[in-house]
Amino acid sequence: MRGVKTRMLAGAVVGLVGALACFGTEGDEKKGATVEAEVKIDPIYRKYEGKVALTEDEWKARLTPEQYRVLRRAGTEPAFCGGFWDFHNKGIFVCAGCGAPLFPSGKKFDSGTGWPSFTQPVVKGAVVERKDTSHGVDRTEVVCARCEGHLGHVFPDGPPPTGLRYCMNSVSMAFVPQSKLKELGYTEVPTE
């Protein structure tokens, strides 16, 4: 009986810590945003040929502290806290760092993990996968092909047809609704 109580108490503490982590620090409410909100999508990827390479100071000026921690330092937001884990609007998810198209809304699914999950990127080459052995675990990290910002990880436990689960951090992405695609120049990007 004592072991059961200990496990229940440990579970409650972990849940409380996770819930408190969702609130962040003062002024750190943006965990993933849409164009209608305060985020301005600047399709910087259209302004440059090749990769987007900024200095650390330029990244810090461009991103919120939480976006910088996740995108540039390979951080992870807590599960069930990001703005896109339970988000079902039509459009595309783009990199919060450089505006490059990443995932269509039509490839998003509910993985039950608390992070937005997708079966595949918007186009082949939109993301880059690389080996990640941090935290003593073998995983596959997913970064933006344009600016190399950390997005999350991909796992081989997704639904058909790919069998993949691209498990992303909401704060690493911004969302462009279908109604704003043409206005912002994302006309060639599929949403399904």
User: Which residues form the catalytic set?
Assistant: 167
The Cα–Cα gap between 77 and 24 comes to 10
DSSP state of 158: -
- What is the SS3 assignment for 61? helix
- The tokens describing 83, both together, are 């703005």
The Cα–Cα gap between 67 and 97 comes to 8
**Whose CA is closest to 130, among 154, 101, 95?**
154
**Whose CA is closest to 170, among 107, 77, 105?**
77
